[in-house]
Structure 1
């Protein structure tokens, strides 16, 4: 399961360099996660659900056509709670339009999945793509269709320019980002921290100290879902962004600097301070490599005050998996921003964009609905979901932790960096058992081999960027 995971500045039209000067503001917004809802100032939304910018009540209903008798298929890689909750959004679309919508479970990499469907003459009408690189590929292959005027109108009303831009290819709008993720969070078992006398860390040095405190109390510090390579790329990206800075981050994302660069060596060496301590990882490196993301979360919040680990790193969507345990978010399960490795805490985001593959009235209507506050508000109320739609009322989110995360995302405007691996060609940054996913899994297994890991990353990146695949 790749949760929004979980974006391509050189492979989409989104400028990269223009955001470099905004890193400080983004870091400040990350800090809001550990503070109150008033941190980071206003987000343009009042608690009554109205938007100061557009003046449009977020409870208003988007205009949708009647589609009685029409059928649609929607493909996404979501599983478990995410899939279940999204189906409730689709049910509302069915109720409003009379269309019949079928959810089609997809596998990573979704482009390969869609390719097989299209080759067989059965493409879904709409697909939720977790990488801008995948949007670009879908456009290049002639699969994706530009969004219609109604969908674009919803995007302009409800999304910041940055979130609109990452759904564009060559200036045309192909994607509507329905789901976002704040991927700069560490969740922790509150009882474990209380028993250990551990405090929420602000810096990487503090995190190492907190880990030792948890370890000394008899609990393994970290749960790592290493069976899913994307979780490891997220670890790297947060360390790299904070340590090397936004300019280097953008350059590496575009492969304008090599993975053999000293900044990559520094980040890997830093990561090894945790990955290299087998007693710090639940099950050790081998156990981590056999643990999928959902289990990495649930094993942190089951077992009372003696879980398999005290902390787990990942995005806000981890709440879906926490919800599968008896732990209550905000009480039993708490969260802090990824600690500052360099000058400030990183803000790394991810997202899933709705893309039309069959240019029909029904497909365009569904994406229009997904770009509206109506659809996002439904899923926000169900938890474990974050929307980049600025007109979703904060009151829709079910707990203060989620409201704080949502407010920080909206307040940051365009001051964020999208997931680096999602910006890469899929062969490097988005394929299980290949490229960056595999190279970092190998590094988790042998974190002493920094130079060898850099060489493998560069070889795989050069091949993927050279072919554009």
Structure 2
């Protein structure tokens, strides 16, 4: 099976039902629900081979919310869940076990204070970070072209990036727009380059204040994305084909089939590139819209325990045995960044970027933190709005004012 880095769990319902059938057995193995599929799922199962008791690991895909929050699914709930969306963690916090403040590992490592705060609800830490992702990267099929090549770890300007996309041989860019989170990553990276303060103000406020999606920074973000995405022949097959292209296939577009020259993708694209690519990739930081001091867009998967048995799994993963298992089974293959500074062995090509996710200048994925009508996976929330916007600006659908329509939809959903 080729690696599939999308987060759709096609077997989620089957696996969930199978796990539910184990609940009546006194000697039931520990059940672990993960958001990963394909290659990532295989890597994690290899990690868990070192844990005693033969745990059952199954993919919940995009069904993690329902698995944790739906009363009907209570009997199928796992002992451990890996949550990629912080909105889910906050909504399910009352059913999660509290992690001891002294638990070792990623939650207390290096410069991860802000990361730990993201898992704290009501003064209690409800999880431990298992893996992080660097989502502010561009990958070129050939050597990083000037001016990006001067220092690939620092972002070049948006102006330079736009000029490159307008002059490089066509097609230039592959976008896996079938996965809505790919489009939100674009939106978030551009917005961070324009105004990180506005980015933070779009998050749900503790006092219930409604975020303002109708301001200048959001308008300018959409305008710049339109300016890029409507460049003629930018995408192989145009917007219509991009809307049918998954994240995984956008990587193959560039590095296996050679249909495009570059792709914006997180560090977890590397295992696909290294397995299917015909040449060494060239990564660099996502271009800065206004300034070089642009926060790194990050995401992560947090391990949470729903039972005492699940807590033992989380402790094991955060301890020495788990750290060694992760290093040997996953880190060396790429597609995994730990917040634990003691984890080593990353692919050399990712060396300049792995440390950036634990720095002070990071911002967590906005769409993973949203709640209400702006939250959700494909076909819902911000993902849906940006998918429609992408179709409008690439000529797949027709809206007189794509920027205005998208911003209106965001404002209405937020309000």
Relative to the length of structure 2, the TM-score reads 0.83
Which string of whole-angstrom CA distances, capped at 9 and with x for unpartnered residues, describes residues 118-142 of structure 1? 6251211101000111111111xx4
Say yes or no: does 1:408 pair with 2:356: yes
Matched, 1:289 2:236: no
Aligned-pair distance for 1:110?
1.8
SS at match of 2:56: strand
Cα shift at 1:436: 0.6
Cα 1:346–1:2 change in 2 (3 A) is farther
Give unmatched runs, 5+ long, in structure 1.
6-68, 463-469
2:315 alignment counterpart? 368
2:181 to 230, 252, 265: 230
1:122-177 deviations in Å (ceiling 9; x for gaps): 211101000111111111xx432212466x24456535222211111111111111
How far did 1:321 drift? Answer: 2.0
Q: 1:171 to 1:4 in 2, by over 3 A?
A: farther
- Matched pairs, number: 373
For residues 421-448 of structure 1, give each alpha carbon's deviation from its aligned partner in whole angstroms, at most 9, with x where no partner exists.
1111164133220111010001001135
Residue 418 (str. 1) matches residue 364 (str. 2):
yes
8 Å contact 2:178–2:242 — kept in the other structure? yes
User: Which residue in the other structure is 1:170 paired with?
Assistant: 122
2:221 aligns with one of 262, 267, 281: 267
| 1:226-253 CA distance string (max 9 Å, x none) | 1111110110011001112x21111122
Q: Residue 158 of structure 1: which of 104, 109, 113 is its match?
A: 109
Q: 1:460 to 1:115 in 2, by over 3 A?
A: same
Match of 2:201 among 251, 269, 287: 251
Counterparts of 1:375 and 1:251, CA distance in 2 = 39
2:389 aligned with 1:443: yes
- Residues 27-74 of structure 1, C-alpha deviation per residue, up to 9 Å, x if partnerless? xxxxxxxxxxxxxxxxxxxxxxxxxxxxxxxxxxxxxxxxxx661111
Corresponding residue for residue 44 of structure 1: none
Q: CA deviation at 1:351?
A: 0.3
In 1, are the aligned partners of 2:213 and 2:411 still within 8 Å (CA)?
yes
Q: What is the TM-score with the length of structure 1 in the denominator?
A: 0.74
Determine helix, strand or coil for the equivalent of 2:191: helix
- Which residue of 53, 73, 76 maps to 1:122? 76
Distance 2:36 2:71 in 1: 17
Per-residue CA distance 1:185-205 (angstroms, 9 max, x = gap) = 0111017x67xx885471111
- Conserved 8 A contact 2:5-2:38: no
Please, which of 256, 265, 269 is the counterpart of residue 318 of structure 1?
269
1:186 aligns with 2:135: no
From the superposition, tell whether residues 363 and 369 of structure 1 become closer, same or farther in structure 2 (CA, over 3 Å): same
User: Residues 188 and 426 from structure 1, CA distance in 2 versus in 1: closer, same or farther, beyond 3 angstroms?
Assistant: farther
Q: Displacement, 1:320?
A: 2.3
| Residues 131, 423 of structure 1: 8 Å contact kept | yes
Tell me which of 288, 298, 311 is aligned to 2:252: 298
* Larger relative contact order (CA 8 Å, sep ≥ 6): 1
Q: For residues 337-361 of structure 1, give each alpha carbon's deviation from its aligned partner in whole angstroms, at most 9, with x where no partner exists.
A: 001101223411000000112x22x
Per-residue deviation, 1:415: 2.7
Q: Which residue matches 1:453?
A: 406
Partner Cα separation in structure 2 for residue 171 and residue 382 of structure 1: 36
Q: Distance in 1 between matches of 2:71 and 2:172?
A: 43
Do residues 280 (structure 1) and 230 (structure 2) align? no
The answer to whether the 8 Å contact 1:74/1:124 transfers is: yes
Aligned counterparts of 1:265 and 1:157: Cα–Cα separation in 2: 38
| Pair 1:353-2:311 in alignment | no
Q: 1:377 aligns with which of 327, 350, 356?
A: 327
- Once superposed, what is the RMSD of the aligned Cα atoms? 2.5
Deviation digits for residues 370-413 of structure 1 (CA, Å, limit 9, x no counterpart): 223334423212222111112213xx11x222222212334x1x
Q: Distance in 2 between matches of 1:187 and 1:429?
A: 28
